[in-house]
């Protein structure tokens, strides 16, 4: 008798779980999507295959020295990674 009561309790709990999981999953997806969109607006990066001096270079619209070519990932590390502006080494963004 006690065992069937416990099994019933487990089944009842399992039936209610999918709804709560789905609700939290939807909230997580919405939050993740919102954060991704916000990050896209903050930093504009175009990944390229330009390499020079042992570093990959990426175009950044907004970096510590203005728009231009920086070592990839260094656009906000003041004093590091600046290559040059439009036309640096003949490169175009």
Q: What is the pTM of this model?
A: 0.48
**Residue 59, strand partner residues:** 46, 69
Q: Is the pLDDT of residue 80 over 60?
A: yes
Sequential DSSP letters for the chain: -HHHHHHHHHHHHHHHHHHHHHHHHHHHHHHHHHHHHHHHHH--EE----EETTEEEEEESS-BTBSEEEETT-TTSTTSSEEESTTGGG---
Mean pLDDT of 69-91: 93
pLDDT category of residue 32 using cuts at 50, 70 and 90: low
**Residue 55, strand partner residues:** 52
């Amino acid at each position: 008798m006690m065992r069937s009561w416990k099994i019933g309790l487990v089944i009842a709990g399992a039936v209610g779980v999918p709804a709560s999981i789905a609700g939290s999953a939807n909230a997580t997806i919405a939050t993740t999507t919102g954060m991704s969109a916000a990050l896209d607006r903050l930093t504009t990066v175009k990944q390229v295959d330009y390499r020079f001096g042992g570093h990959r270079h990426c175009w950044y619209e907004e970096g510590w020295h203005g728009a231009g070519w920086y070592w990839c990932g260094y656009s906000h590390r003041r004093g590091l990674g600046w290559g040059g502006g439009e036309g640096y080494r003949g490169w175009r963004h």
